[in-house]
Structure 1
């Protein structure tokens, strides 16, 4: 069994090597990189990203990032390309071919075929004198000093460099397209990321009941209203105006202080000036308000009028938290 120190040292060494490899990429952000960004941004086609082995896995991640940030992209496995998948490449598409060595058999076969098609070919490559680099129209240099693998064999540092270069491309294209939060929400309608960007307070409040009670209501009526609606709270309304809120915690505290409940009304129990949020505000902002004030329920209003209630559990159920 390896010692604790040995394991920690190996982990730190790996991270240091990979971090340095990313920093070393800075010197390769050159005129080719700028031209690539402009070409992709102005293109009417898609970006086809291809590779083999571990580079193919990185290519799939880059494609996913491109697509989610507004750059239409398709993954093409280099081995499958020469067995029919070249047919997916259209006239205006730009191809990014990823390879550490740039000299694998599949890449050597694929590169000239891509050149023949007339598409712009970008080589993301770790060897600038390789077959791929020499045939590419533009080169993204992702060379690394050494792999984190102690035998300098398993792609580790090199794939980290490829991944980081792909992210640099995606983020630059994102800025070029003025891709904003609304665009991101459009491309991510599912999952917690999308919900944080488009789900509004009204969307959640509409799923809940709207417990309400008059300020003269008895304690019994307050308890019944809270229990029936299962939100742990009831809003006190007078002349269609919110004047307070009563939570189940308020009920418990009242029972601790009073034995005679006959003369106690909702007005006596309520907390004035309850925290609220407009129905058009994002649910994620409702969460921040709940957290900042250490509460579990939040009123939702429509131009100041009572619209509904959001409970902390609603936000948890929606995946906002």
Structure 2
């Protein structure tokens, strides 16, 4: 059984089994899901997500997704809840309780207490006849035919189904809140994602060199400027305005085409009307422009004033992608 072929078969069957369980969730999206989503959207409090065992781990992920997409949420472990943590539940909070069986002892103790508090209760369960399902105001069905576990014991398909149901709630709430990428950026300022959503071109120019030559500059001066500033390009600036650029590729083509360049100037070999952006442009958007036009640098200009060059290599170093 430990052959490579058997391992491949087991892995593929696990993925197939879980994907089939997820697909069946479509048939379980009903009016309870719609009304539960509306209750969550209209809530003036927070979303309390509770569970025990593997369901508790899914609950924590759900809380993280809600919080990062504009729905304030808190995780409440079902076991700890009945030992003091119920104090975190406030009057306007809506409670989501996750349990495959819906009949665990902790759930049977917790649910009546929450109902006495007067909080709206949403169940995510794979047992529609369970105590949890019967006692909740809304029930989201995550029933699976079986687990991928060969003993049909370890939560696999069931926890994946719970996770997907939580994601469905989160996405619906994002749409109801008109949650945009700008909103998303507020909650993700760090790391590569934060840079992608918040980092602007101007921030990359603060310590960068600013290559430029006059239109009448000799080719020797152009080559020196490109070499010294190490960006592989220089802007051609006339009376403060960018009228063209010269890349190291332009220099190579000139050397290949011309026997002599003693009489040539920057104006003679420059590329007119280069691609330009403003310093307020998002770096991620600048990267998209570079990719769309298959180029490696952009001229940065604010109100016709030359600010510098942003290069593809610098963007990649920042870990934007």
Give the stretch that moved more between structures: 300-309 or 54-63. Answer: 300-309
Give the stretch that moved more between structures: 230-239 or 92-101. Answer: 230-239
Alignment partner of 1:175: what SS? Answer: helix
Q: Distance in 2 between matches of 1:105 and 1:148?
A: 25
Q: Which deviations, in whole Å up to 9, do the C-alpha atoms of 1:254-287 show, x marking residues without a partner?
A: 4455575543332234222222223333322211
Alignment partner of 1:300: what SS? Answer: strand
Residue matched to 1:210: 210
Q: Distance in 1 between matches of 2:106 and 2:137?
A: 19
Residue matched to 2:293: 293
Q: Distance in 2 between matches of 1:140 and 1:64?
A: 20
Residue matched to 1:124: 124
Q: Which deviations, in whole Å up to 9, do the C-alpha atoms of 1:183-219 show, x marking residues without a partner?
A: 1122222233333333333333344222211122233
Residue matched to 1:26: 26
Alignment partner of 2:246: what SS? Answer: strand
Number of equivalenced pairs: 321
Alignment of 1:27-46 (within 5 A): 27-46=27-46
Alignment of 1:105-116 (within 5 A): 105-116=105-116
Alignment of 1:9-20 (within 5 A): 9-20=9-20
Alignment of 1:172-251 (within 5 A): 172-251=172-251
Residue matched to 2:133: 133
Give the stretch that moved more between structures: 288-297 or 168-177. Answer: 288-297
Matched, 1:66 2:70: no
Q: Are the counterparts in 2 of residues 237 and 244 from structure 1 also a CA contact under 8 Å? A: yes
Give the stretch that moved more between structures: 195-204 or 170-179. Answer: 195-204
Matched, 1:280 2:284: no
Q: Distance in 2 between matches of 1:157 and 1:124?
A: 14
Q: Are the counterparts in 2 of residues 70 and 174 from structure 1 also a CA contact under 8 Å? A: yes
Alignment of 1:164-179 (within 5 A): 164-179=164-179
Give the stretch that moved more between structures: 2-11 or 22-31. Answer: 2-11
Alignment of 1:50-65 (within 5 A): 50-65=50-65
Q: Distance in 2 between matches of 1:95 and 1:290?
A: 47
TM-score, normalised via structure 2 length: 0.92
Alignment partner of 1:209: what SS? Answer: coil
TM-score, normalised via structure 1 length: 0.92
Residue matched to 2:90: 90
Q: Are the counterparts in 2 of residues 184 and 194 from structure 1 also a CA contact under 8 Å? A: no
Q: Distance in 1 between matches of 2:126 and 2:90?
A: 27
The gaps in structure 1 that reach 5 residues or longer are: none
Q: Which deviations, in whole Å up to 9, do the C-alpha atoms of 1:217-268 show, x marking residues without a partner?
A: 2333223322333322210111222222122333344445557554333223
Q: Distance in 1 between matches of 2:82 and 2:259?
A: 85
Alignment partner of 1:246: what SS? Answer: strand
